Structure 1
């Protein structure tokens, strides 16, 4: 994207990823195989409590077209076809699920040197319309999003935000939940090995504040350790190691200090790429 602003949905994403990404408290296994012809296959299995869920995802890519097909445990089929550069700096995607005949959706993204615009429309008689836009540059961007349900003739969402990005830090301020909550986030790369992040949410309806703080530490080129703490008394730790090229093993644990009679949550994730 060069100097273009990131899409609106990416405002605050860096801090959110540090605080939430890869924190898995179940047992998960992922196997990914990528062929030389642009065809990739990913099989995922997830054991959540006593329930086992799985899916198989096939992706085919060439210069301008990506076809993504996923089949899950319940025989639901999700398909997405993405075409790049149908117009200059424009990307379009059509997605649908089988057997849900009302799930069809068309997404269009346009990236301008000073703007990023995303639009979505449901492919059914009473579609949901969504539009988001961000203007500015990769360093400073201002944006918003709206969603309108034609079936009920009502707005289902309207949010706004601003983001400041520098090489070693990023800050974001978002007005969310239809103007009922204000969310501030900040991430700072202290040095090549340590990064810290924080997120604070204030809800105007009940004057309530919630926060989460976290950190990421690079132990060595193959090992990362993360931690986080939330105002609800939950502590979480994550250990991730690249035990072979592009293959990761991740251990995660969470302890709830307000539920001392409950055992900590433990998770294990294995991602294998031959």
Structure 2
């Protein structure tokens, strides 16, 4: 793929990740393992009611091919959910199959460079046959283009494009419902990226909101950063200002925090227990209503 301006979804992504990524109020356990030369991988998860047929299917697939297996358990309130995902890579093809506790099978096929400088992604969730989606991404040194089709009886077409360079990019996206003949969305954005900072402005919600963000890296390794984001909704005259940042306590420990003008204060601690295995503890309180119960989340990701 080319080193062009990137996809439209990349505009503002750095600020969004700093302010939202890994913040959670759930309990989550993720276990990843890899088969070797077709040898199956067994993963044990407690308190999850996976259907037997789904587990047998995954085991059979792992026997036949070289797969990466990931199991995830999430507890939100009194509800426990989970899934088992199998990932297979061969040359320019990636097959991703996920089975969850609701007996839904999600399958994603990704093909790279079927046509030079393109990526094709096909996905479907069974048994809902109308959930099929086909997406084609085209990359150029000075532009990217993405077209997605919802493969159902009332197809929706999403198109996005960016032009520019890795340093500055302009872009837009639009969604069109072929049945009603109306646009479901249209958004425009611009991003400027430097070695130690990045800024973006996004006009969204069909022109009803504007979001501006700025990220500044405080060290060469980009482990310490400060971020600010302001969002204005024109229809309600509402302004939301959020500031935050991340700080590397040591090579294995990262701390993040965020605060907005509505009084929501969040904090996060990530520690690499062993290589590639991460413990995440996060919490959020309402500083304007301290009588409310704080929210806490815990995540453990174990990788070989």
- TM superposition score normalised by structure 2: 0.88
Query: Runs of 5+ in structure 2 lacking a partner?
Result: 38-65
Which residue matches 1:88?
116
Structure 1 runs (4+) greater than 4 angstroms displaced: none
Which residue matches 2:88?
60
Shift, 1:99, TM fit: 1.2
More strand by share: 1
Which residue matches 1:270?
300
SS of residue matched to 1:18:
helix
Q: 1:46 aligns with which of 74, 86, 96?
A: 74
Shift, 1:2, TM fit: 4.9
Q: 1:241 aligns with which of 271, 276, 280?
A: 271
Shift, 1:13, TM fit: 0.1
- 2:244 equivalent to 1:214: yes
- 2:41 equivalent to 1:31: no
Q: What are the Cα deviations for residues 200-259 of structure 1, in whole angstroms up to 9, with x where unaligned? A: 101111221111110100011100000100111111110100010100001101111232
SS of residue matched to 2:4:
coil
Query: Runs of 5+ in structure 1 lacking a partner?
Result: none
Which residue matches 1:7?
7
SS of residue matched to 2:9:
helix
SS of residue matched to 2:19:
helix
Corresponding residue pairs, total: 274
More helix by share: 2
Shift, 1:141, TM fit: 0.3
SS of residue matched to 2:130:
coil
Q: 1:201 aligns with which of 210, 231, 238?
A: 231
Q: 1:124 aligns with which of 152, 161, 176?
A: 152
Distance 2:90 2:244 in 1: 39
